[in-house]
Amino acid sequence: MFTKILIANRGEIACRVIRTAKKLGVATVAIYSDADADALHVSMADEAVHVGGSAPADSYLQQARILEAAKLTGAQAIHPGYGFLSENPEFANVCMTAGITFIGPPVAAIEAMGSKSAAKNIMQSAGVPVLSGYHGADQAIKVLKDAADTVGYPVLLKAAAGGGGKGMRQVHSAAEFDEGLAAAKREALSSFGDDVMLVEKYLLDPRHVEVQVFCDEQGNGVYLFERDCSVQRRHQKIIEEAPAPSMTPALRAAMGEAAVKAALAIDYVGAGTVEFLLSADGTFYFMEMNTRLQVEHPVTEMITGQDLVEWQLRVADGQTLPLTQAELQIQGHAFEARIYAEDPENDFLPAAGSLKLLQTPTESDHVRVDSGVSEGDDVGVFYDPMIAKLIVWDRDRELALRRLTKALAAYRVRGVTTNIEFLKSLSTSKAFSEGLVHTGFIEQHRETLFEQKNARVDHFLAMTMCYLVLSEATTINPRESTRSDAANPWRTDDNWRLNAACIHARTVIYQGEELDLTAEEIGTREHRRFKVKTPATTVDVDAELTGDQLKVTIEGRQQTACVFQSEGNISIFSSETAFDIETKPMFASEDATDDLDAGFVAPMNGTIIDILASPGQTVASGTTLLIMEAMKMEHAMQAPVDGVVGEIFYKIGDLVEGGATLLDFEASDYH
């Protein structure tokens, strides 16, 4: 076994590899960019080497610097994680030439599966079923469009060198083809440096089922069963489970054997994932093979009891597979939910900011949290906005799903917008509970998943008011006790009045609306009880505050919520949902600013990658004017109405800050 390895990656996967290496007594070397100098994976590793600037192209994709770091520290092997250089045959070859083990498959296997078009041809020859489509070398627009017309719409345009949903576009008609192809090629070139495309028939609402395979240098191959990764947004997985629901033993064996056949056809070694599309009638088609460890590998670990990173290290060391196919068994059911800094209400737009609050569920044999960040860290614009992976296990799907919903309710994140509430909604939806998943799940159930929950807003407002009163008391009462006349009621700061009710009044802002709240004290100092008046109703509340835990009884229902306050914002986390409210200062400034037209503004820090309009140009509503890239996503700025483009303030390649005005636009007059 190796004595020291370098992890050529960052974030949660780097931390994940380090944990297994420590368990095996293997020393670890981390690499880091400017932005990651204080990152968790850096502090976890035994050593760390700086490799460049914040952008991946300046650091985590710098092959020569990474190799030099391995030589400098005496690392015998490099684990690439996933993403970045994990499926780069050139990097694997450079490692081999330098005498450093690449913890991954042989160069030839990476090359064979690196091109999706070449992979389709190999799979066809090996007898693995594939979808109809075009996988040829001629990339003329007419050739690609003719292929789409022949296959029949809808089609999926995919980057031949792609992965992770990048460089992919659904095209539902011939009229959409040119624009879809241009966008897919742009994104592919940006993400992979290669804009070669393939065209394949797009199945409506199939399931996305992938099989974990492992092969060793001795020619042995096994499959560690399947994962269902159907629930996706932007072609990227958001929640996965293993085993796949409604999977028969016969179908599991057929898909598993096909996956091993695919791996052996290219003399594969190490961990790999063969992805299939599964139709409703039980037929399945090869989609692609990822020649690396997958983001969702923990669910496979949970149902097999195996450490796949340990398997990787042992196989890379020349050892045989730890288990045979007959020795592998499925035990229970597991889910993985990806906690992202993103806004589901705004088309899952990535978010950036500082993690002012980060509290995770308690880990156990049933609950696991894989993360690369800590409270106080920044979620920046240079990397994927995933905060963590929440993995749960239990003896069957129903119990595991209960574990998932309970663990999601225990998550506390503030400082960035997250998808946690959406994941709660998704995991508790009837269709998901019944296992009726497919790749169009979110779109099909959008109305249900995004509907406003029937949370009692008046109850949360009452809880907020009680928290404000009780938290103020924790600062007022100690000050009172130090006074020489502390017993004098006229000198207290708790709203006491002679022959009148003790009433507290505050103004808060909820969903942009100012609301006046009052709380009349009807209890005692030992038993705090309030009559809280909101704009809609009046409720009686028994309340007790201990630290950040607010215990209340409202209309006979007792519950405890966690409260987080930061810079005038209050978040109340209950077992049902999270409630955010802004407090208005008791003595606010009278100054006001004019309501300025922000124009077309950058949603976050990013790069201008294309400008499709010119100053003075008259455009129709919906016309794309420019495109910027941020957090690995394209954002198209479109004309909201017919109008004329004014001055454009940036050029292609410029870096822009979030909130910057990108161009002027004048709407046409309508009479």
Which residues on neighbouring strands pair with residue 129, listed in sequence order? none
Q: Which residue has 């009433």 as its token pair?
A: 503
d(CA 83, CA 632): 12
Torsion of CA 371, 105, 49, 384, to 10 degrees: -40
d(CA 414, CA 261): 47
Q: Which residues contact 359 (CB under 8 A, 6 or more apart)?
A: 375, 410, 411, 412, 413, 562
**Best CA proximity match to 289, nearest among 451, 115, 46:** 115
- Which DSSP state fits 536? S
Strand order in the sheet with 624-630: 633-638, 624-630, 606-611, 655-656
d(CA 200, CA 118): 13
> What angle in degrees, to the nearest 10, is found between the helix axes of 89-97 and 107-114?
170
Cis peptide before 154 (omega within 30 of 0): yes
**Best CA proximity match to 665, nearest among 598, 595, 568, 569:** 598
Catalytic residue among 233, 292, 403, 412: 292
Amino acid at 327: E
* CB atoms inside a 10 Å sphere around CB 651: 9
Inter-residue contact 560 to 569 (CB < 8 Å): no
Inter-residue contact 49 to 37 (CB < 8 Å): no
3-state secondary structure 603-664: CCCEEEEEECCCCCCEECCCCEEEEEEECCEEEEEECCCCEEEEEECCCCCCEECCCCEEEE
Q: Is 292 a catalytic residue?
A: yes
Active site residues: 292
